Structure 1
């Protein structure tokens, strides 16, 4: 109880979540009256990041930096325009399709929303779309970042759950495509009400020219996802090859990337990676505390009284995680919930850990788009000037579509594991 109170107090005064976890560990050791546990603390910190799979995180972050600096994002949007830009509500579909393609490179919801809001929202407003809707749509499309591989949250979960990183990344493909399809269906239904405009029609010659110019940008997701699916490389190796592919495409095909930009990209990727990896190390301390205090066993007794079967458990889990996700960011949310809930899911209800991980990550990502925090809305607001509260109201149909996907995933586990088994 003292440890929980200390953790909440540290968090309320603005201490970073990773430090909150470490300081709560120190409070727990002090309250336990067993000073010998201090000797275990450093080894727990080091053990948290002593995993080969975590090397994929800085590599995926570096790919995103290279992609942005090399003009690849803009080409992916042009490619999307060539396919769906001229239909009714075309720019809304372009927003969704481009985000799906960019998701297979970036893997971060907030980074993706910031980048795509700068590019797509002004273009949509210029063509007659409401700015609030355009910004909100971009925020929801950013949900695809942590779902479609590569995904930093999936990498973190795979290390915590001790499942193969490659399997976890592949498991996000079908849910990501399904979510894109549901969002496109919402756009189509809303288009009947709001009379979305059409973009300028491209001739066949123009479409072919755009495809030929931009198709090499797809080499990056093809290398990353294709090498994992075919077994030619694991997640870390595919990330390394993807980074090389991003440099080659940006420098020699698009010709916007300069080698002089690479040191700055390496530095930014390193700083962000350090923050993420320290959070993972702190998670190991938090997990150790929970296990030592027998918290999972206590929670298991309560859960077994509330849920009789796996489906009921998963549906209850959706509600709990969605509430947690509204106030805690994705990675910290993983760190606080997985050590408690994963043993219950796998040992009591015999739920596949990969299926469980997909549902947990999507729930926590949806929390990015739910009040009172709604981090993705605030990112889109900072870039576009639209009001976060209005964005949430205007885009409520997308929220319900995401909830529908979670129900489907909870009832039909094969939607998560079909490509893995």
Structure 2
């Protein structure tokens, strides 16, 4: 209890979560007097990063850097506009489709919202859409990034839970499509409420030129998903291939990227990767501590006293995750939740770990757009110049559709496991 209280105190004092997790282990060693554990402390810390699957993380981040520098995101938006832009409220649907294509490349909500805010929101404003609604649709579309492969959250969950990351990617496809369909329904409702304008039909020749121009950009998500699903490459290898392809496309096809942009992209990717990887190393320390505390067994006993139903367990867990996601970013939340609740879900309730992982990651994405933390929400507010509270209110229907998907995933496990098992 002293260790747990110290950890809470560190967080309230503003200590970064990674350092708080390491300090927690040191406090536990001091309180219990198990000084012999200090001998394995460095091994536990570095052991958290000794996982081949983690190599995919910096490679996908590098892919995002190359994609941004090479103008690939803008061309994916043009491709979506060429296929969907001529219907009423077309730009809103274009925004969502482009977000879905970007999600299959970036895997990061904040990066996706940043890029799409620059590309989609100005276009929607010029077409007569309310700015706040345009920003809300763009921010909501960013929630597809942590679910549709490749997903940074799936990579981290797979490392902590020791599950195949490629199988996690496959397990997220159907829930990601369900989210997309739910968002389409919300946009249709918003279109009737706000009277979205119809965009002019693009001439056939211009539409063909837009599609041809965007084909190289569209190859990147196809390469990622296709090589993983086809068993041709692991997620790590697919990330490396896609990053190389993005660099070549930006350099030699679109020519918006120069050789001088390569080194800054590597530096930025390395810096961002270091932050996440150090957090994962600290997570190993946290898992080590709670194993000694026998916390999973205590939680299992407590949960069994409340319910013996797997569905009720998942619904209660969803409520807990929703509250946790409001105050903690998704990656630290995964690190805190998985070592404690995954053994309970598997050992006590017989829940498939892939179903559990999809529900965990999908639920915690909601926290990206909910105050008071909501990094995605505040990114959208910063990029648009609007108040975060105004955007949060308009995002509520999208969050409600995610809640419905979560209930369906809890009741019907096959939604997250059938495709994986079939492949």
TM bucket normalised to smaller: over 0.9
User: Aligned equivalents of 1:204 and 1:306: distance in 2?
Assistant: 62
SS of the residue aligned with 1:346? helix
RMSD, matched Cα: 1.0
Q: Partners in 2 of 1:245 and 1:418 — Cα distance? A: 31
The aligned counterpart of 1:283 is: 283
Mapping of residues 345-356 of structure 1, within 5 Å: 345-356=345-356
Aligned partner of 1:264 in structure 2 is: 264
Greater alpha carbon shift after TM alignment, 167-176 vs 61-70: 167-176
Aligned counterpart, 1:198: 198
Alignment gaps of 5+ in structure 1: none
Partner of 1:105: 105
| Conserved? CA contact 2:329–2:374, under 8 Å | no
Cα separation, 1, equivalents of 2:419 and 2:385: 41
Residue 343 of structure 2 is matched in structure 1 by 343
Quick check: 215-224 or 357-366, which moved more? 215-224
Give the Cα separation in 2 of the matches to 1:264 and 1:42.
Answer: 31
In the alignment, which residue of structure 1 is the partner of 2:53? Answer: 53
Instruction: Decide whether the 8 Å contact of 1:53 with 1:155 is kept in 2.
Output: yes
Q: Any residues of structure 2 matched to 1:18-417 within 5 Å, and which?
A: 18-417=18-417
Give, in whole Å, the separation in 1 of the partners of 2:320 and 2:41.
Answer: 30
Q: How many residues align?
A: 421
1:200 offset after TM fit, Å?
2.1
Measured after TM superposition, the shift of residue 90 of structure 1 is 1.1
Q: TM-score, normalised by structure 1?
A: 0.98
Q: Could you report, residue by residue, the CA deviation over 1:315-340 in whole angstroms, capped at 9, with x for unpaired residues?
A: 11111111111100010000000000
Q: Please, what TM-score do these two structures have when normalized by structure 2?
A: 0.98
How much has 1:234 moved relative to structure 2? 0.8
Once superposed, which parts of structure 1, at least 4 consecutive aligned residues long, lie more than 6 Å away?
Answer: none
Match of 1:6 in 2: 6
Is the 2:11–2:17 Cα contact (8 Å) retained in structure 1?
Answer: yes
CA distance in 1, matches of 2:97, 2:4: 43
Q: 2 CA distance for matches of 1:6 and 1:139?
A: 36
Paired residue secondary structure (2:75): helix
- Cα pair 2:59 2:243 within 8 Å, conserved: yes
The offset of 1:371, in angstroms, is 2.5
Are 1:367 and 1:374, in contact at CA under 8 Å, matched by a contact in 2?
A: yes
**By how many angstroms is 1:357 displaced?**
0.3
Distance 1:21 1:254 in 2: 45
Q: How many Å separate the matches in 1 of 2:21 and 2:341?
A: 18
Q: Give the whole-Å Cα distance in 1 for the aligned partners of 2:62 and 2:418.
A: 30
> How far off is 1:31 after superposition?
0.8
1:13 positional shift? 2.2
Whether contact under 8 Å (1:132, 1:387) holds in the other structure is no
CA contact (8 A) 1:62 1:266 kept: yes
Contact 1:67 1:73 in 2 (8 A): yes
- How far residue 393 of structure 1 moved from its aligned partner, in angstroms, is 1.3
Q: CA deviation at 1:375?
A: 2.0
